[in-house]
Chains A and B, each alone.
Chain A
Amino acid sequence: MSNQEETLVQNVQDFGESEGKQSIERCLTFESGGLVMFLSTEYVTEIINDYPITPIPLVPSFIKGVINVRGRIFPALDIRLCMGMPQLEYTNKTCIIMLNIDSTVLGIVVDSVQKVMDIDLNQVHPIPIKRRQKLLDGMVTVEDGRVLMSFDYKALASGQYN
Chain B
Amino acid sequence: MDNGMESMLDTYLYETNSLLDRLDEMLVADEETEDFSTDDVNEIFRIMHTIKGSSAMMEFGSLSTIAHRIEDLFFYIRDKGISSLAHEHRKELFNLMFRSEDQLRGEVAKVESGSPLSENIDEFTAEIEGFLAKISGNGDSSQDEASTAGASGQTAAEDDSALPDDPQAACFIHIFLEEGVGMENLRAYMIVNALKEVGADFRYYPANMDTDSGTCQTIIENGFFLAFDSQENTSMAEDILKTQNHIHSYEIVEPAAKETAQPEAEAPAALPEQPVSAPAAKEAPAPKQESGAAAPASHAPVKQSLISVNLSKLDSLVDIVGEIVITESMVTASPELSHLPRDSYDNFMQSARQLRKLTDDLQDISMSLRMVPISGVFQKMNRIVRDMKQKLNKDVRLTVIGENTEVDKTIIDSIQDPIMHIVRNSMDHGIEETAAERIAAGKDPQGELILSASHSSSEVVISISDDGYGMDAGKLLAKAREKGLLTKPESEYSQKEALGLIMLPGFSTNQTVTEYSGRGVGMDVVKKNIEAVGGTVSLTSELGVGTTITMSIPLTLAIVTGMKVTVGNSIFTIPISNIRQSFKVRNEEVVLDECGHEMVDRMGTFYPIIRLHRFYNLDTEITSIEDGILLWVEASDRSYCLFVDDLIDEQQVVVKSLPSFFNEFGLKNAGITGCTILGDGNISIILDILTLYMAAIETI
Contact = CB atoms under 8 A, between A and B. Distances in A.
Given A56-B667, A58-B667, A75-B659, 5 more contacts: A52-B681, A56-B672, A60-B665, A68-B677, A71-B319
Interface in A21-63: 52, 54-60, 63
A54 B662 contact: no
B419 to A, nearest CB: 34
A54, A74, A159 pick with most chain B CB within 10 angstroms: A54
B658 A56 contact: yes
Nearest to B567: A57
B661 interface: yes
Contact of B677 (A56, A58, A59, A73): A73
A122 B147 CA distance: 94
Interface of A: 52, 54-60, 63, 65-68, 71, 73-75, 104-106, 159
Contacts of A73: 656, 658-659, 675, 677, 683
Interface in B558-600: 569-570
Interface residues of B, number: 28
A104 to B, nearest CB: 7
A73 B661 CA distance: 11
Interface string B648-660: 0000000010111
Contacts of B661: 75, 104, 106, 159
21 contacts: A54-B683, A55-B618, A56-B662, A56-B672, A57-B615, A57-B618, A57-B670, A57-B672, A58-B617, A58-B672, A59-B662, A59-B665, A59-B667, A67-B683, A68-B681, A68-B683, A73-B658, A73-B659, A73-B675, A104-B660, A104-B661
A68 B682 contact: yes
B645 to A, nearest CB: 14
A65 B320 CA distance: 23
A54 B659 contact: no
A106 B662 CA distance: 11
A18 to B, nearest CB: 30
A58 B570 contact: no
B664 A159 contact: yes
A60 B616 CA distance: 12
B685 interface: yes
Contact of A54 (B320, B323, B326, B682): B682
Contacts of B616: 57-58
Contact of A66 (B326, B569, B617, B675): B675
Nearest to A57: B616
A58 B683 contact: no
B658 A57 contact: no
A57 B686 CA distance: 12
B685 A56 contact: yes
Given A73-B677, A159-B664, A55 B319 contact: no
Contacts of A104: 660-661
A54 B662 CA distance: 14
A63 to B, nearest CB: 8
Interface in B643-700: 656, 658-662, 664-665, 667, 670, 672, 675, 677, 681-685
A58 B656 CA distance: 19
A63 B665 CA distance: 11
A52 B682 contact: yes
Nearest to B669: A58
Nearest to B677: A68
Interface in B591-623: 615-618
B683 to A, nearest CB: 4
A146 to B, nearest CB: 32
Q: Which 9 A-B pairs have the closest CB atoms?
A: A57-B616, A54-B683, A71-B323, A75-B661, A59-B665, A75-B659, A68-B677, A68-B683, A58-B670
Contacts of A66: 658-659, 675, 683
Contacts of B682: 52, 54, 68
A55 B570 contact: yes
Contacts of A56: 658, 662, 667, 672, 685
A156 B683 CA distance: 23
A106 B661 CA distance: 8
A159 B664 CA distance: 9
Given A52-B682, A68-B681, A71-B319, A58 B665 contact: yes
Nearest to B681: A68
Contacts of B658: 56, 66, 73
B618, B665, B675: residue with the most chain A Cβ atoms closer than 10 Å: B665
B131 to A, nearest CB: 53
A64 to B, nearest CB: 12
Contacts of A52: 681-682
A62 B677 CA distance: 23
A71 B662 contact: no
Nearest to B617: A57
A106 B570 CA distance: 21
Nearest to A51: B681
B559 to A, nearest CB: 15
Which interface residue of A57, A66, A106, A159 has the most chain B CB atoms within 10 A? Answer: A57
Nearest to B572: A57
Nearest to A159: B664
Contacts of B656: 73
Given A73-B677, A75-B659, A106-B661, A55 B569 contact: yes
Contacts of A106: 659, 661
Contacts of A71: 319-320, 323, 326, 677
